[in-house]
Each structure stands twice: as structure tokens, then as C-alpha cells.
Amino acid sequence: MKAIPTVPLPSGRAMPTFGVGTWRMGESARVRADEVEAVRAAVDRGITLIDTAEMYGDGEAEAIVADAVGARRDGLFIVSKVLPSNASKRGTIAACERSLKRLKTDRLDLYLLHWRGGPALSETLAAFAELKAAGKILDWGVSNFDTDDMRELAALDGAGECATNQVLYNLTRRGIEFDLMPFCAKRGISIMAYSPLEQARMLGDPALKTVAQRHDASPAQVALAWLFRQKGIVTIPKATRLDHLDDNIAALDLILSLEDLRTLDARFPPPKRATPLDML
């Protein structure tokens, strides 16, 4: 696997542009061992970014990450998220402490507000600032924030420290390209793309297959390579099977041509107007 590029964060730290997601992990004891092995295998292969959340499996996904990582915490970039129902100042700090305990670590590399909720954004940011000052989190960001949400955030004290906005983004969900991506790019806020393969629903598409055949690649590799080529985009596909993990990693070496991009644009056209943010 070639070296994974990074994106700069406002703090001066760097975040890998490729990692693994853990959404829907921790929901079944029957497959827990396989999920631990999948995350462990990703780390074995040189992947350092692991994305999780207190919501995933009611915290069990974080415990799976801890079991997979073991003593190899240093050198990894671990991301977790606070639920909006916990996003008051006191609630955010308490939620972070619980996540740290489940992850068996003393700090999070990146802590995100999972989506907008009832507590004021200023409370959540105050908690992030306190956690950062204490070394419990090294950077913070948001998730599922549309352009209006980002404008509201940008008006608050300390908003310049926002490192990323994790949103649903893939070939079939390109709405953010119209206004949200430019807004974030102007402020140095990276986009972290979750469900980059649309939970495999897009992989039978003829256009993807056509491009894949040109490169003797898989449709999944093409969909991921389409994201990898974009500056400031971080991609976190989930893989619980080792063959899927290796297929995703191989996409790092795939370079799409202008002809490929035209084929994909014709099938999955970019947006021509503002649209509400997609969420799963």
C-alpha cells in the first residue's frame, strides 16, 4: 500500500485522507470477533484513521476498536462522536469520558458533534475547548452539518478550530458540491465522506462497471478513487471482510482518466442547484 496522503487541520496537525469506518459494528455478538479482526487487519495493513461513535452499537463499536488496537494506540488517528442528546457542555464532557474509557485511551484525535440537536452550539464548543485544553481531545469538528448549520457555527467564538464536517458523500450523493463543499474549503475545513460506496448499492451500476473494466479494477475501487482524487476529502469506507478491505486499499493506486471522469459525470451529474443535505 502506498503512503496515505494527509490533509492539514487548523491546529497544525494532519489527518489521513483514508481510513476505516465502524458504523453498524457492535450490534451483534455473533459477528463481534469478525469485526475486531477487520479493524485489526486494517491497522496491520497500515491504515491509521479509525472512525467510530458513541452511538454505534450503543458504544460497543468503540470497545471493538479498543480490542482491535490493543497496545498500538500511538500512531493511530481515532475519531469518535458525541450524540446531540448529550451535546450540552456538561453532557459532552461526560460523553467524551465514557468514550475514552470504552476506547481504552487517554485522548481522541478528533471529536465530532454527530448532528444538530437541542443544546446550543456554543455549549458544545465550550465543552470541546475544555476537553482540548485538558488534552482529552486534540481536534474537534462536526458531522451532518448543512451549509446553514456551518454558517451558524462560523459565527461563534472558536469556530476557526473546526477541523472537519463528516457528511454523506459519494457518486450518487453529490449535492454538497454546490455550496457546502465550497463553504468548507474556503475555511480550511475538510470533508469526511461516510458511506462512500452507498452501502454497496451503487456497485452494480453499468457506468461504474465500464470504468472498472478499463482498469481491470472493481466498481468499489472506482467509486473510492473518484473520492481520493479530490483535495480535502477524507474517505472512511467500512469493511468487515478482508477481501473487501484489500479491495478498498487497492483503490489508493487507481488513477482515473479524464475519459473516466466524463463517463462518471454523465451518469452521476454534479448538482446544478442547492439541495438539502442527505443523511442516512
Alpha carbon separation from 55 to 82, 93, 117 (Å, rounded): 8, 16, 14
Domains of the chain: residue spans and CATH: 9-203+232-240 (3.20.20.100)
Characterize the bridge pairing of strands 14-16 and 19-21.
unpaired
Beta bridge partners of 96: none
Q: Is the pTM of this model over 0.75?
A: yes
For this structure, is 194 an active site residue? no
Rounded to 5°, angle at Cα 96 from 94 and 101:
100
CB atoms closer than 10 angstroms to residue 137:
24
Q: What's the DSSP call for residue 12?
A: S
DSSP labels for 176-216? GGTTHHHHHHHTT-EEEEESTTGGGTTTT-HHHHHHHHHHT
Q: In a structure prediction context, what are the per-residue pLDDT tens digits for the chain, which is 280 residues long?
A: 778 999 999 999 999 999 999 999 999 999 999 999 999 999 999 999 999 999 999 999 999 999 999 999 999 999 999 999 999 999 999 999 999 999 999 999 999 999 999 999 999 999 999 999 999 999 999 999 999 999 999 999 999 999 999 999 999 999 999 999 999 999 999 999 999 999 999 999 999 999 999 999 999 999 999 999 999 999 999 999 999 999 999 999 999 999 999 999 999 999 999 999 999 8
Catalytic residue among 56, 111, 169, 194: 56
**pLDDT at residue number 277:** 96
